[in-house]
Amino acid sequence: MTGRPAAFTGTARAAMVPPPPCLPPDTPVAQAVAAMAAARQSSVLVVDAEGRAIGILTEQDIARRIAFRTAPETPLGAVMTAPVLGVEAEEKLWRAVGRMRLRRLRHLPVLDGLGRPVGMLHRFETYAAASGRLLDMLESLAAEDDEAGFARTRAAQSGLARTLLDDGVAAADVIGVVSEINLDIHRACVARALADMGSPPPVPFTLLVMGSAGRGESFLFPDQDNGLILGDRPDDRHAEVDAWFIPFSEDLNARLAAAGFTLCKGGVMARNPLWRKTLGEWKEQFTLWTARRTPAALLFGDIAFDFRPACGEAGPAAELRAHLTKALVARPAFLAALAAEDAKFSVGLSFWGGFRDDEPGPGTRTDLKLSGLMPLVSSVRLLALHHGVAETGTRARLAALAAQGSVSAGDRRALEDAFGLIVERMLRQQLDDLAQGLEAGNLVDTAALAKPDRAALRDALKAVSSFQRATVAALTGGV
């Protein structure tokens, strides 16, 4: 991976420099200009008594609006640009770059959680994290903050993915960027749905995303897998809470659908009462699933156990994760049953080592999601749940398992390589399908791959198959 794309996939902290002089609003303009010159900076930030950024003054402001027009003793607060637009240090760099491009900004302050300056992004240094084609893509991603704009952002993701791949970013990191963009859209849809409710929520809530979104491994066209953890509701307010959250959940799922996330055919969405509960009810549900081990419980667990918070307080999700770990320790038969179900998804290799053909017609098209990614993801999930690993991403789970000695360093590297290769083959095939006007799916034309690529993919699937067999044996007592 090259340096520039690696920086791009990081946070604003990776590209920021120390903040420029920070001055109170009553500072004379002449003093601000002198401070800017002395610090060899092209801007100064205006801060209030608590150190929070409330405005900015740049060289261009001085040249265009202040020089020869404003008395030197004029207070900075009278000529600053306010309010100041900034980002937090942990903001994704792609989003910061997109914001600078869309608004034609030369400077973007980096602020802490209280709005105090901790750094500054400068246009040229920040743009160095991305190629020219990538910069052009970012304006498409920074669309208007409405459902139509969100849908355009979703549509632009295929171009972004292609550009990132061409710039040398690993496919596993590309789907991570796509997943973060999708989470941003989820949060924006929550904010818009809240604004239209007309009254604040009667209890706090946390939006959960599950499945591929929960793992941070979304491809280009994920559907919705989400739910809500509601704050405790007294019995006498049960009807009131439901009366607020039912229309809110319906509106939220509709907004996400309008933004390009299709409704889940299985109904795994916040508008379904099964996926909208208090923390206590979620705990009871997880306990019930692990105790009964019905087909529905196994199916729901396979989706839900990859949950992570997307919006709202993270505490309830962490508490639910801790409860799930205890429930699975108390009932290991659930993971054994889940392992037996997941074992039905074998890798896409024939008995003779060739690629399985999953579509009638000429050539060989192999469903690498069903017979490559799913066996790997589900096996890693099973082992992570068995060992109490809280992470949800496949690579993060492998890292945690290796750190505790549950997976060898060699197996970790082999499985991470297999994950990256399978993801790349799937993502490139989806992009090629879209370029040809076809619907993007999970069937990869394995016959069209170059011989070295076929050999590498075959080795990757063999590694997944071996790991899957070992995991199933460990959890079921099989051999």
CB of 286 closer than 8 Å to CB of 322: no
300-331 per-position pLDDT tens digit: 988 899 999 999 989 999 999 999 999 999 99
Which of the 8 DSSP states describes residue 466? H
CB of 371 closer than 8 Å to CB of 358: yes
Percent of the chain at pLDDT exceeding 90: 49
* Total-model pTM: 0.75
* Three-state secondary structure call for residue 361: coil
Structural domains of the chain in order of their starting residue, each with its CATH number: 3-127 (3.10.580.10), 143-278 (no CATH), 336-476 (1.20.120)
Mode of pairing for the β-strands spanning 205-209 and 117-122: unpaired
CB of 204 closer than 8 Å to CB of 312: yes
154-206 per-position pLDDT tens digit: 777 888 888 788 877 789 988 888 888 888 889 888 988 999 998 999 999 99
In the chain, the N- to C-terminal Cα span, in Å, equals: 40
Confidence band (pLDDT; 50, 70, 90) for 142?
low
- Whose CA is closest to 161, among 301, 5, 389? 5
State the number of CA atoms in the 13 A half-sphere of 471 facing the CB.
32
Q: How many CB atoms lie within 10 A of CB 193?
A: 19
Radius of gyration of the chain (CA): 25
425-472 per-position pLDDT tens digit: 999 999 998 888 888 888 888 888 899 999 999 999 999 999 999 999
What phi and psi, each to the nearest 5 degrees, are found at residue 304?
A: -75, -30
Which of the 8 DSSP states describes residue 209? E
